[in-house]
Structure 1
Amino acid sequence: MARSSIMTRWPHYILATLMAAFASSLSWFTVTAFHKLNIHRFDLGNVEQVMWNLVHGRGFVMTDPYGTAEMTRFAFHADPFLIFLAPFYAIWPHAETLIVLQVVALTAAIPATFLLGRRVVGSIAAGLAFAVATTISAPLLWSGIQPLHAVTFAVPLILWGGYFALQKKYVAAAILLGLAMLTKEQVGLSVAMFGAFLWWRRRDWRWGPWLTVIPAVYALTMFFVVLPALAPTTTAYQSAYGETASSVVSHVLRQPVEAVKDVIGPANVKPVMQLVASFGGLALFSPISLAALPDIVINGLSDKIQQRDIRFHYHGSLLPWLIIGAAFGWSWFAGRMKRYSPRAKHLLLCGWLIGSAAVISFQYGPLPGTPNSWLRFATWGNRYAPIVREYAATLPPETAVSVTNNVGAQFAGRAELYSFPYGLDRADVVVVWRNHGQTVVSTEAENAAALELLRRSPEWRIVRDDSDLTILARQVAETNGAR
């Protein structure tokens, strides 16, 4: 009886092992990297400040990282999904809470891919192959070690939403896909294309129209109404083609050849093919993969090179559609391998899927022992990390700080968080660490000039000043807790 139970449940044991390994290793890495100062204000610190403001009743706001004004988070992204993280942050208000939440969310993608593979292909072996490929896939691993971005939560939400939609459990699917839409402005466009797939291919005339029209209207409202009204500056992709969503569309219509070249050019196609290859290229054989098209186009029109690099979070809402497409691509291939027995088909396709994921992960992923291993960011002995973290712990949240990007995440739990050299007339404390990642909003020369003026000013007291780290406290800030 016991042996029979083990034989029946062995897929679940494998699944649990994969999830435990993924969650524990990524949680350890990201938390340790954060403690070593290798996770910065962009973007963890920005998100934590929004969380801090939310739980203190100050609204969905943050300090402009490029200035001194307090502004709504909608000035940068339509990601109100972050509000759902606030209760967890309220329980334990630390950046580590947000880091682990993101890892847990990504871990939930593993059972979703198992169920999708089993549902679409009709095989437990296929489900396990998708679960293994997901666990070791380069894009998912990069998503896990790049906290924190609301759009990363779209990965499990879309996968589970897609699974429930295929199961015809449309209420659950609509809720999950609706939550995914709240992670970033363009996700609604992808959900709309998925709805069109259900409408067209599945002949679902009840839910297909709703899952097409409502997401499209929401996304277009964010792009053409909400974000232009609240954004102080243009976004990166808009700066290449216009200052508003309307001008971007106008530019593309006037010069379509230029836009097409950017979208299908090698700089944009390469990362997309890396994502597709992570799951054996199977997504190319399913029309459902077209739901990834909005993100592909937006990334292609951007002049921000990070949007065309799988190491960054911009593929967050693109990846799950390719995974779902890969499951359908597997089914398409299996139906045409008539010369092979069912067992041989599964062995070949399982080996192909897992092997492809392993090769791409080795070539482009962050795992230890690979060319792009990020293990050093968790094991590197940074002698300044305990100094910065201990000093940050002494400052009460009402202390205004102006800090470089590379230490910004350590000081994010407060109302006033300025990017050095901004906010010097308002800050009580200045922290400058002259190391990788210090310059995002200014140059090293500008930082050095601003710091030299502060050193000479009688208003500022030097707390620490050596070759790499400078900490200054305003003399009148002593009563605010700056020491």
Structure 2
Amino acid sequence: MVALALFLVYAFFTVRRHELLLTSGYDLGIFEQGVRGYAEGRGPIVELKGPGFNLLGDHFSPALALLAPFYWLWPSAKVLLLAQSALVAVAAVPISRWALRTLGPAAALVTGLGYGASWGIASALGFDFHEITFAVPLIAFSVTALGERRWVAAFAWAAPLVLVKEDLGVTVAAVGAYILWRGDRRIGAAAIVFGVGASLLELLVLLPAMSPGGSFAYWDNLSGGSGGRNLLTLPLDLVTPGEKVRTVLLLLAPTMLLAARSPLMIVALPTLGWRLLSNNPAYWGTNYHYSAVLMPIVFAGLVDVLVKAGARPRVLPRWATRAALPVSAVVTVALLPGFAFSQLFTPDLWRTPARVEAARSVLAAVPDDARVAASNRLVPQLTNRCEVIVFGWPQNWSSAEWIVVDEDQPMGWPLPPEREREQVAAAKRGGYQVVRSDHGITLLRRAPGDPPAPAEAAPPGGAPVGSGASAATG
């Protein structure tokens, strides 16, 4: 029942945000183009990332192909959002059932809802769709099996993580390390070899083979460039108050820091490690989708500690055992206003502004299969039926017959508002004519038969990782 309730809330929240134009091309549009490519038998070719760009050369996530049958039935970005809602909700099942069997109904409710309403899940669902959604339930079932000493099941649940993202093979190895330490050495060693081997194969062979650049594109995120962080600066970062420390404390706060006492937290170390070692500040904080895979580990860790405290009272002081669940519930509720789920309690999510209705009407004038350059927020409204690129990034908009932009409320990415207005003006000077404009949503079309207009170059520099600008942010 907890998982069903979470799914209904997640589904409403994510679909409603999409209907209100709060999703974006980077990243929902990217993943929809990838799934659409699978569904149409073309492979995950993503024009939003560049001409003929293979998404498997960005991140190794063949698990996305599992959504293709659903996309055949309903070609819509909402399919991805509903699938994500279901996968994330299912992760509550093993955690709450473990708590129910060992600690009782109250613990099952607190841990299930605590996980489901946690800030890591809220941040992920509040920022489009990402491949790691497949990892969340797999990790939840795996760490629960570890806690119950079911070694084969723990490895079996973890093994498919290597098809979700290239770094998750190291998480499989962490599961193996736990099994090696606490249980069956052969299974543990097999999991370590399998996980590390899979990640090395993907990073050093498969990704470079499919990447336009011939190598994994995100090695630089682990280098210590100007202002960056690396192995030498990490110890100072962890003893100096800052964003990394805040993230770790917030991660453990809903468990009254008790999860840190559970050896299950070993499984969280690979994800925490690459994030804290990165020189990309977007990875250090609590925004976006990076913490979603950590939340089931944290709440499984809480159950683990409380189960051990019940069997061996000396593990925890009695007051800590009694206070853990009430404090967890209070902290979870207290953190809600600071993260994306707070939108559920605001009137803006429940009403449809006139500009949104106007946008739907304008977008309906774009014919199917047209090539369109669209504002980032408008991209995922078209990716199910058009060939779409983002207006201003990374390709030249002049390759598109149609342009649709939000002139009244520009997002500020990939172009600053003034720069975007200059580009729209350049398009008009180059022969694009206004077809419709309503509430600032402007649709332009190049006259049929006219050659592509010379457009100004896209802004220099890379996409601002973590700002909704890259599906490859980790």
Normalization by structure 2: what TM-score?
0.83
d(CA) in 2 for partners of 1:22 and 1:461?
Answer: 46
Q: What is residue 399 of structure 2 aligned with on the other side?
A: 426
Q: Which residue of 1 aligns with 2:411?
A: 438
Q: Which residue in 2 is equivalent to 1:468?
A: 440
In 1, the alpha carbon distance for the partners of 2:142 and 2:271 equals: 18
Q: How big is the shift at 1:313?
A: 0.2
- 2:252 paired residue among 251, 273, 276: 276
Alignment of 1:52-451 (within 5 A): 52-65=36-49, 68-118=50-100, 121=102, 123-167=104-148, 172-202=153-183, 204-232=184-212, 238-242=219-223, 256-262=231-237, 266-334=242-310, 337=313, 347-362=322-337, 364-368=338-342, 375=346, 378-379=349-350, 381-414=352-385, 416-421=387-392, 422-434=395-407, 438-451=411-424
* Higher mean C-alpha deviation, range 401-410 or range 223-232: 223-232
Hey, what's the Cα distance between the residues in 2 that align with 1:257 and 1:376? 47
Q: Distance in 1 between matches of 2:148 and 2:310?
A: 21
Distance (whole Å) between structure 1 residues aligned to residue 410 and residue 266 of structure 2: 36
CA distance in 1, matches of 2:132, 2:433: 41
Q: In 2, distance between residues paired with 1:287 and 1:168?
A: 12
Alpha-carbon distance between aligned partners in 1 of 2:47 and 2:236, rounded to the nearest angstrom: 37
Structure 2: distance between partners of 1:114 and 1:140: 16
Aligned length: 444
- Deviation string 1:433-475 (CA, Å, 9 cap, x unpaired) is 13666343333333222211111233x2211246732210122
Query: Per the alignment, do residues 261 and 297 of structure 1 end up closer, same or farther by CA in structure 2, a change over 3 Å counting?
Result: farther
CA deviation string 1:282-304 (max 9, x = no partner) = 21101220221221122223344
The answer (yes or no) to whether the contact 1:285–1:332 under 8 Å persists in 2 is no
- 5+ residue gaps in structure 2? 451-474
Write the deviation string for residues 242-265 of structure 1: whole angstroms up to 9, x where unpaired: 4xxxx99xx99xx73234445665
* Matched position secondary structure for 1:59: coil
Gap change, CA 1:444 and 1:341, over 3 Å in 2:
closer
Structure 2 vs 1, CA of residues 436 and 390 (structure 1 numbering), >3 Å: closer, same or farther? Answer: closer
CA 1:374 to 1:355, structure 2 compared with 1: closer, same or farther past 3 Å?
A: closer
Percentage of identical aligned residues: 23
**1:10 — aligned with what?**
none
* CA distance in structure 1 between the aligned counterparts of 2:200 and 2:345, rounded to whole angstroms: 38
Q: Which is worse superposed, 276-285 or 222-231?
A: 222-231
The answer (yes or no) to whether the contact 1:23–1:107 under 8 Å persists in 2 is: yes
Equivalent position SS for 2:46? strand
Question: Quick check: 2:24–2:128 contact (8 Å CA) kept in 1?
Answer: no
The one-letter code matched in structure 2 to 1:58 is R
SS at match of 1:472: strand
- Deviating more after overlay: 466-475 vs 160-169: 160-169
- Normalised TM-score (structure 1): 0.82
Amino acid at match of 1:357: T
- Residue 13 of structure 1 aligns with which residue? none
Shift of 1:401: 0.8
Q: Deviations over 1:324-369 (max 9, x none)?
A: 2222222344456459999x8864332233233223334x33344x
Corresponding residue SS for 1:292: helix
On the 8 A contact 2:362/2:438 being kept in 1, the answer is no
Cα RMSD after superposing both structures: 3.2
Amino acid of the structure 1 residue aligned with 2:198: Y
CA distance in 1, matches of 2:355, 2:100: 49
- Greater helix percent: which structure? 1
SS of 1:405 mapped into structure 2: coil
Aligned partners of 1:53 and 1:414 also within 8 Å? no
C-alpha offsets along residues 154-205 of structure 1, whole Å, 9 cap, x if unaligned?
A: 1111111233455565555444322333222211212211111011122x12
Report the Cα distance in structure 2 between the residues aligned to 1:325 and 1:59, rounded to whole angstroms: 39
Say which SS state the counterpart of residue 271 (structure 1) adopts: helix
**CA distances 1:193-219 after superposition (whole Å, capped 9, x unpaired):** 1111011122x1232112221011112
Paired residues of 1:464 and 1:472 also in contact (CA < 8 A): yes
Contact 1:118 1:124 in 2 (8 A): yes
Verify: 1:49 aligned to 2:33, yes or no.
yes
* Contact 1:271-1:308 at 8 Å conserved across structures: yes
* Letter aligned with residue 180 of structure 2: W
Whether the 8 Å CA contact 1:137–1:365 is kept in 2: the answer is: no
